[in-house]
Structure 1
Amino acid sequence: MNKFLEQIRLDDLPNVAQQIIEFADEVNVWLFEGNLGAGKTTLIKELCSQLGFKEAVQSPTFSIVNAYPLDNGSDLYHFDCYRLNNQEEAFDFGIEEYLYSGNKCLIEWPEIIADLLPVPHLLISLEIQEDQSRTIGLEIIKE
């Protein structure tokens, strides 16, 4: 199942986040791919807000993972795998426990852990257009 959202601007983020949640709410692992500056963290901040985390969201670049308690009592996990050198480092901090916890996991720079991901998972691809708008592709990976 695929979906594309085109010409997204910053003031469209609440609507875009709602569309993503509706598209893939039953999927717990969401991957974010895009070049530096594509808006991965900005989109994640809006998604976290709409999923029930009302505090400031910070990129976990140095901590690798941040846990955000949600209004419904569950946790949402935000990963930034950019600094990981290999999958062994992911195992060292217990990534499998997060991925299979049943909680939402939002993962920036997921390429290094691709072999560890459960299915289904959602791939969110962000691409900057010439006019600085974004195109967002959504694909639920089932195998």
Structure 2
Amino acid sequence: MSLLTLEISGLAALPAAAAQVREALRGHSIICFEGEMGAGKTTFIKALCQCLGVQDEVSSPTFSLVNEYRDAQNQPIYHFDFYRLDTPREAEGIGALEYFDSGYLCLIEWPSRIEELLPPDRLLITLTVTGLETRELKIES
């Protein structure tokens, strides 16, 4: 079921798109980001974290697998990048299930790599390249 579709015209449009997505997140803690390499998953997560009041530098956890940030209410936000994983067992090894059960916001890049570990109650955000700088963002539950 699609909840929201946004056309993002470029980097300057990211803060407004992130604000709209922030509203759609209410009541959800597991947010999955899909899109081809270079679609802008990490870039969008940076804008979303900024919108949530994160003061830390947001970067891809490609090698560490998970980064932790703090939002404006000093609550943790966990940012995962599972691109480099070969099996879901590797995610279990870093305690992914405990993070997912924490109730805190978990932003997950490449969730298809650990599909079997994900809870059914989650949002899927798909970023699709539509032009050199343009993207379509779709939120589904």
TMscore range, shorter length: over 0.9
Identity %: 45
- Structure 2: gaps (5+ residues): none
Deviation at 1:119, TM superposition (A): 2.7
Displacement over 2 Å in runs of 4+: none
Residues of 2 paired with 1:40 and 1:59: CA distance? 9
Q: Which residue does 2:28 correspond to in 1?
A: 27
Rate the CA distance shift 1:55–1:7 in 2: closer, same or farther, 3 A. closer
Deviation at 1:86, TM superposition (A): 0.2
Write out per-residue CA displacement over residues 55-86 of structure 1, whole angstroms, 9 at most, x where no aligned residue: 21111000000011222121000000001110
SS in structure 2 at match of 1:54: coil
Q: Which residue does 1:55 correspond to in 2?
A: 56
What TM-score do you get using the length of structure 1 for normalisation? Answer: 0.92
RMSD: 1.2
1:36-75 residue pairs with structure 2 within 5 A? 36-75=37-76
- Structure 1: gaps (5+ residues): none
Aligned length in residues: 140
Rate the CA distance shift 1:8–1:122 in 2: closer, same or farther, 3 A. farther
What TM-score do you get using the length of structure 2 for normalisation? Answer: 0.94
Q: Which residue does 2:86 correspond to in 1?
A: 85
Contact 2:8 2:14 survives alignment (8 Å): no
Q: Which residue does 1:104 correspond to in 2?
A: 105
1:76 aligned partner, one-letter code: I
SS in structure 1 at match of 2:114: helix
Q: Which residue does 2:128 correspond to in 1?
A: 127
Rate the CA distance shift 1:7–1:71 in 2: closer, same or farther, 3 A. closer
Residues of 1 paired with 2:36 and 2:133: CA distance? 13
